[in-house]
Structure 1
């Protein structure tokens, strides 16, 4: 019997939102336009600097460029907000459809299986896990796509200007990715442990709340509460320990990746002083 090939996580998410693909695609297009508009002020600043180097002093020469920069910023706000609204609308519609499909499937599960499974497990799937997909649907799909396409265009543009400056601008990205890969090497194991701790807590909470009347009747409140409290403390302790171990690499790559000037300024200055880099390209 042939095993079915598993799709990529992103492909699986996309298939779950099939009924709302139109909204997701429109949201992605708007997000791309928003990020593109965000880049316009930077090109306007370059234009202003070039005019200053050329000795331009007339205010009328700078006004149109400033208005274009303002229009770019306004476009970024408009398109980004519209993208977010549409993606959230599509995301919550998708979550509704997923919950309906899970409940429909649950109705076909044998009663023995349902009785043998803690109610907290069903609550965790129907409420918590599906709710956790809101971020991938509403943010990952539009924002990841837009934040990848536009930077790719910028990288190509940098290589067209000067390949040496392009490599210098990418240096911190490569260093940051190396640090990130070190921090993520145990993610699968730690993530599975986090899900197990959360499931144990959810089962304990639902069991405690559902059986509280019986517990009181038989004076077993202390023991039952202890089991519930231990599960909650265990879940919190696991996440605190996991986050504490992740902070070093997380803070490091968040500090390194945006620090492009650390490589661009000294490297660009050296090339400019040697005469192999034009002033406007450096700017």
Structure 2
């Protein structure tokens, strides 16, 4: 696995220590068997005792070294991978996150990296022990009596065959399992984030359906898989049970002794070591499962790391901040291999004006606005600010030009001060207070237990409207010439809506604003209203002009205003 390359040296050393520890663990059992043979045959036995006793501390030292090395390797690997994933996610287009549930991102960054812990720190060592102990024991038993060794291995062979039958389609099943888990993760995240809005609009039953369907699908899959493999796995474990092995060894040994093919002295090693062959073999199956799970997790991490980042220009033009003219020139866009969703959009946003995007659901409003903020790159055409293609601007420079306030607010689990200062970490406290006042949220922050130093999510939770005003304060602090605004009052109560509208008016003043309008009444004063339908601009103009035209906008107004 390429991902474990940074810690491969320590892993190999740890595995070598574990292999030697496994051999040292077999020595006391061999010593017991040899002492028994020596006592029955009248030979010397003290040196066997001394060898068996000496092997014990050696085993302890080697085991300690092996587990220490692999745990240190695991710790460094998880830190390395999480840093690498965080850095890579920071370079991906923001549209990549919109197209995926947050459960998928959480699974890759947290769950899949955590899944490698058991593989790196435990499973590889367990697998080494599970292989070395039976092989060493078998080689010793072969030297005693080959025929009896073959008979002793029969329960183990039968158990492995039954286990292989149970696991014959495990790769495909594991893929289905991870898909079911991801669907459930996404449904849970969406359910939790949307529960307040859902309950407010009386759609609880409908909204719960996706979560219930995902949970039921997951439960049915796991139950079906368990019902399929449990009988074979049970028979496999019974065949390898120590009692079964002992019964086979004693029955076959007695028969061979009666036939003169084995001496009673030579039966002792098979009784001592033979019944222990199955236990490591059972551990092999669990270790193999961990290896499969680790390989699957590694594959998902590698797929994420292979996702192309947003291209960054090698040489960026220096564009001084100031009034911004935004131009969309023959813009076309498609998501991956899907059908085209925007078809040759031409649009100009003049400095200091407000342009509203309206249209039915699925018309392309959010997609078009996302292209202006470079959440994705256009498939054809260009988006320019003051004549400069936004693809020629590094992300850090671009987002000094373009800010956005989205309907779905995301605040960090940190202080209110740091949440607002996310836009400009070097901003002083007075600046933060100024923008908070402008966003109509200062008074609410002052009422919190520690004011601006209150930790959101731990000390207190804000309402949706309050969170929206914090995000507006953040955008005010960023002070970008261009603002992309997804109408922020769609789910607010009357009091919050009034405060948010005042904050938005403060935010939009003097900026070039592109607003996605869900309620037409909120954009009647826009300098330009653009009607989208099917990814095409159907109409554009002012409110009164479009009403007088009697076209798509007038029809939308009659229905929604």
**Are residues 1:160 and 2:143 paired?**
yes
Task: Report the counterpart of residue 267 of structure 1 in structure 2.
Answer: 252
1:52 aligned partner: 39
Listed as ranges, the matches of 1:219-238 within 5 Å are: 219-238=202-221
Aligned counterpart in structure 2 of residue 22 of structure 1, from 9, 12, 21:
9
- Give matches, 1:30-109, under 5 Å: 30-54=17-41, 65-66=48-49, 68-109=51-92
Residues 72-96 of structure 1 show CA distances to partners (whole Å, capped at 9, x for unaligned) of 3444444334422331221232122
Give the TM-score normalised by structure 2: 0.44
Is the CA contact 2:22–2:132 (under 8 Å) kept in the aligned structure 1? Answer: no
Q: Which blocks of at least 5 consecutive residues in structure 1 are unaligned?
A: 1-11
Match of 2:361 in 1: none
- 1:199 is matched with 182
Tell me how far 1:68 sits from its aligned partner.
Answer: 4.5
Could you tell me which residue of structure 1 aligns to residue 297 of structure 2? none
Q: Distance in 2 between the 1:200 and 1:192 partners?
A: 12
- In the alignment, the residues of structure 2 paired with residue 71 and residue 246 of structure 1 have an alpha-carbon distance, to the nearest angstrom, of 43
Task: Report the counterpart of residue 9 of structure 1 in structure 2.
Answer: none
Deviation at residue 67 of structure 1 after TM alignment? 5.5
Q: What is the TM-score with the length of structure 1 in the denominator?
A: 0.82
SS, match of residue 149 in structure 2? helix
| SS of the residue 2:202 aligns to | coil
Q: Which moved more, 1:102-111 or 1:32-41?
A: 102-111
Question: Which segment drifts farther, 33-42 or 214-223?
Answer: 214-223
Match in the other structure for 1:3:
none
Tell me the equivalent position of 2:112.
129
Q: Does the C-alpha gap of structure 1 residues 233 and 79 become closer, same or farther in structure 2, counting only changes over 3 Å?
A: farther
**Structure-1 separation of matches of 2:30 and 2:85:** 50
- Greater radius of gyration (CA): 2
Change (3 A) 1:169 1:69: same
The two structures, once aligned, show a CA RMSD in angstroms of 2.5
Query: Quick check: 1:246 aligned with 2:229?
Result: yes
Aligned equivalents of 1:18 and 1:154: distance in 2?
A: 33
C-alpha distance in 2 between matches for 1:105 and 1:51: 65
Q: Is the 8 A contact 2:23 2:136 kept in 1?
A: no
Pick from 179, 182, 190 the counterpart of residue 165 of structure 2: 182
- Specify which of 144, 157, 177 is matched with residue 127 of structure 2: 144
Question: How big is each residue's C-alpha offset from its partner over 1:93-138, in whole Å with a ceiling of 9 and x where there is no partner?
Answer: 2122222222222223222222111111111221122222222212
Check whether the contact 2:41–2:265 (CA below 8 A) recurs between aligned residues. no
> Is the contact between residue 151 and residue 249 of structure 2 (CA under 8 Å) also seen in structure 1?
yes
Moved more, 184-193 or 160-169: 184-193
In the alignment, is the contact (CA less than 8 A) between 1:32 and 1:147 conserved in 2? no
What do residues 150-174 of structure 1 show as CA deviations (whole Å, max 9, x unaligned)?
4223322322222111211221122
Q: Which has the higher helix share?
A: 1
Further displaced range: 174-183 or 110-119? 110-119
CA distance in 2 between partners of 1:36 and 1:138 (Å): 20
